[in-house]
């Protein structure tokens, strides 16, 4: 089974997650999800999650990994909960690459639709739902 990893960028103080709307490249076109992608050979899931986030967003705000979970669908996807503080994202702006159409922070109580498969399960396993 193919393996992939991603970062769930989360502002605890606001209970918001940062999601990207997938574009025409890759899978789940026009679905919202966390940043992430395939794990390259000789790369750990965490290294892949950071690499993919930086490729898709240009940079990351300062934060800390708090937890991880793995869900199974067409791929084995490891999601890392990456907590950021409001003051560290207020001046931060993502520079999206060609993989995504747009990106925003969303309240966990008001998530967009449709979400990529496994997103809600990951959020629940990570304890943010």
The full set of domains in the chain, from first to last, is 3-125 (3.90.79.10)
Contact by Cβ (8 Å): 53, 97: no
Give the model's pLDDT for residue 29: 94
Give the model's pLDDT for residue 47: 98
Give the model's pLDDT for residue 73: 83
Per residue in 53-104, pLDDT (tens digit) is 999 999 999 999 999 999 998 889 999 999 999 999 998 999 999 999 999 9
Cα–Cα distances (Å) from 125 to 27, 55, 69, 81, 120, in that order, read: 23, 26, 6, 10, 9
What is the mean pLDDT of the segment spanning 91-118?
95
Stated pTM of the model? 0.95
pLDDT above 90 (res 10):
yes
Q: 3-class DSSP state for residue 112? A: coil
Per residue in 12-22, pLDDT (tens digit) is 999 999 999 99
pLDDT above 80 (res 1):
no
């Amino acid at each position: 089974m193919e393996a992939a990893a991603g970062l769930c960028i989360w502002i605890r103080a606001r209970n918001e997650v940062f999601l990207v709307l997938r574009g025409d490249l890759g899978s789940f076109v026009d679905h919202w999800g966390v940043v992430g992608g395939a794990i390259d050979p000789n790369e750990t899931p965490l290294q892949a999650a950071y690499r993919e986030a930086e490729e898709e967003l240009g940079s990351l705000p300062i934060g800390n990994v708090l937890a991880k979970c793995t869900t199974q669908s067409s791929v084995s996807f490891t999601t890392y909960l990456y907590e950021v503080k409001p003051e560290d994202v207020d001046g931060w702006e993502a520079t999206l690459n060609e993989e995504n159409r747009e990106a925003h922070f969303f309240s966990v109580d008001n998530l967009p639709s449709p979400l990529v498969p496994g997103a809600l399960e990951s959020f629940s396993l990570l304890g943010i739902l």
